[in-house]
Amino acid sequence: MKRVLFVVTSCNVKGDTGIPTGFNLAEVTHPLEKLEANHIDVTIASIKGGAAPTDGLEDMNDPVIAKYMGSDKFRKAIANTVRLEDTQVADFDAIFFAGGHGTMWDFPNAPSVLKLVPQFYESGKVVSAVCHGPAALVNVKLSDGAYLINGKKIAAFTNDEEEEVQSTNVVPFLLETALINHGALHQSSPNWSKKVVIDGRLVTGQNPQSAASLGDALVKLLE
């Protein structure tokens, strides 16, 4: 059985604003549904481990979110996430970083992220992320000292989308800009439209609307 490590944020507040945040449920549940339908096992981890905060933006009219939030197994998984630094690359075939604004504070410089992502990539495994999840990739360097994203086609939450949700001056940096500054070839679609980009074993999506399609792409890469 193939196994994928899902990573969510442990950050529950947007910097010093006092505004609550966390991970986006759609960006976890939609890919999760695709993987589970294809008998791929998923473990959910977070930066600190334990209970992972959600961003409160979940639409309970979304049947996929409603299904998982009605599942004792899923609720237990997000209330008892594995601490990322306690995971082993050898146990998984891919790593996936879900979004939500919290990621902008704890993903980019987390020692566990900077250590594990190069190990996944350089051992021939899949690295993936959606929406603000690519914040995990901004500062990752490979063993030769080059940024992982340098010269790679990447999709992520765009500056225009950040502006539309009135968070340009809230987030610690603009994700699209940071990715480009470290050499990424940023790819985008109009705000809130689906966009998934596959560059070898690197798979990224632009926004929550891209989460299910990213799950499909992961399934195909793991066949």
> Of the residues 30, 132, 182, 186, which is catalytic?
132
Q: Are 7 and 45 in contact (CB under 8 A)?
A: yes
Of the residues 131, 161, 176, 186, only one is catalytic, namely 131
* Encoded tokens for 176: 């699209």
CA distances from 25 to 8, 87, 179 (A): 10, 22, 24
Q: Which listed residue (33, 161, 162, 176) is catalytic?
A: 162
Residue 170 pairs in a beta bridge with none
Q: Check if 27 is active-site.
A: no
* Catalytic (active site) residue 162: yes
Would residue 132 show up in a list of annotated catalytic residues for this protein? yes
Active site residues: 131-132, 162
